[in-house]
Chains A and B, each alone.
Chain A
């Protein structure tokens, strides 16, 4: 059973930097890797009409990234986005649009911009399970 996602510190920093850069708009992107370990970050454009409260990844960009990930024989490890005013926990809309049960959902909160927090979840059939984020593979 998967109990953790591995996101190297360098990638965590890039996620947070992307989210801060887009503030007060929500940022979004994809992490690619293998076996629950993120190796590559794809910061994407939020095309939502209401980007300060929601995110939507452009389908064309999504298709391009998916093909690139497949060409590298990697998987979609996680989909990340930021919450700029609320905690890093899946909203009702996040649950409604969680169509990738094999991937992790990583959420960054910028409710306190000076202390961004990053959390990871599995969302399967509307059920949320939080998982630990590790910087490197461990036995625990």
Chain B
């Protein structure tokens, strides 16, 4: 069991997982989010090799963008 905090809310994982696996569990596409793990932004290329462990604090934000002609 891993107790983590995501966007300020407590969550529990059955086991430690990678960021890629966590996004899959949450049904979130990696290309549309930025993830901060314990106050450091994780590069997308490292999602698969970055393990979320007990006590970790995550901030997960979707891109905010758009505009009249994208």
Interface flag for A120 (CB, 8 Å): no
Q: How many A-B residue pairs have CB under 8 A?
A: 82
* Main SS class of interface, A: mixed
8 closest residue pairs by CB, A with B: A93-B70, A54-B67, A99-B62, A94-B66, A59-B34, A53-B69, A56-B65, A57-B64
Q: Hey, which bits of chain B sit against chain A, CB under 8 A?
A: 7-8, 32, 34, 36, 41, 59, 61-70
A-B contact pairs, 23 of them (CB 8 A): A26-B67, A53-B67, A53-B68, A53-B69, A54-B66, A54-B67, A54-B69, A55-B65, A55-B66, A63-B34, A63-B36, A63-B41, A66-B7, A66-B59, A84-B68, A92-B70, A93-B67, A96-B66, A96-B70, A97-B32, A97-B63, A98-B66, A99-B32
